[in-house]
Amino acid sequence: MTRRLLGVFAHPDDESFGPAGTLAVHSAAGVDVHIATMTDGAAGAPAAGFPEGDELAVVRRSELRAAARHLGATLHHFAHRDSGFTGDLRNQDPRAFINVDPVHVTDQLVALIRDVRPDVVVTHDEQGGYHHPDHIRCHQVVRAAFDAASDPTRFVDRGTPFAPSRLYSETTSNRWVKVATRLMRLVGRDPTRFGVNGDVDLTRVGMDPARITTRIDVRRGWPAKQAAAACHVSQRGDVGPITRVPAWLLARMLPSELFIREVPAPWPGLRERSLFV
């Protein structure tokens, strides 16, 4: 029987800069891989030469489509307006994803889960990787939809109840983040203002390694991950280490992607190397 994996992400590019290696190795192994993207990316800061707002959203939709093809995944795009980082004025827009009624989004995801019938669902971790409000909201609604999809008394007009077997959060260990922040301070850079927009506080990124339950070997997935990341030109995906460093070297340096098993609840010390039962 075909195994199915559904990854639900906040923005068009989170699939590629996130667990793309995992998506790629599973699709190459014959797993039916689906990507759901919750927002349109209109609030993202575009690279030079790209439009903003609604026109940027159109560009990002086509970048996302191309990335999904490299990852061998079927795309489901909900295209809510994305929110900015904490404190961004655009977060007052009622259309911003963080302002959309979470019950409405849960309803959309329940319908998707009942339609796709995935064995495994993957999303952002509870702190949204680097605390982006859309990532955190995405985690919350995916958890709600994961539970509701199997309940015949909820969202009764949204398809036949279905219970995926496992839910995972993609995550980062704060072990390397601590090393990186120390190095940055040594060379006089401020790790609390990292990233293209200076809005990532590296000192708050990453999870306690003790919470990481699952490591997926993605060495064979690096070429596809690089190709997918390079599709996001408007987000400067075609520059930087992910696309400039040879795939074989990345595979050696970063052989695994990391996850926290949410459902079934892990026991202390659980360490596994597969998302599937």
* Cis peptide bond prior to 255, omega within 30° of 0: no
Query: What is the closest distance, in whole angstroms, from the C-beta atom of residue 14 to Zn ion in the complex?
Result: 4
125 binds Zn ion (CB under 5 A): no
Q: With CB under 5 A, what is the number of residues at the site for Zn ion?
A: 3
Residue with Cβ nearer Zn ion (37 or 119): 37
How many other CB atoms are found less than 10 A from the CB of residue 28? 14
Query: What is the closest distance, in whole angstroms, from the C-beta atom of residue 41 to Zn ion in the complex?
Result: 8
Query: What is the closest distance, in whole angstroms, from the C-beta atom of residue 85 to Zn ion in the complex?
Result: 10
Task: Give the residue among 172, 165, 149 at the shortest CA–CA distance from 263.
Answer: 165
Cα 277 from Cα 120, distance rounded (Å): 9
> What's the length of the chain?
277
Annotate each residue in 9-38 with x if it binds Zn ion (CB under 5 A) or - if it does not, as one string: -xx--x------------------------
Return all residues near 239 (Cβ < 8 A) that are at least 6 apart.
none
Helical residues (DSSP H) of 29-132, grouped into ranges: 53-70, 102-116, 128-131
Residue with Cβ nearer Zn ion (84 or 148): 84
Query: What is the closest distance, in whole angstroms, from the C-beta atom of residue 64 to Zn ion in the complex?
Result: 12
Residue with Cβ nearer Zn ion (131 or 215): 131
User: Contact residues for Zn ion (CB under 5 A)?
Assistant: 10-11, 14
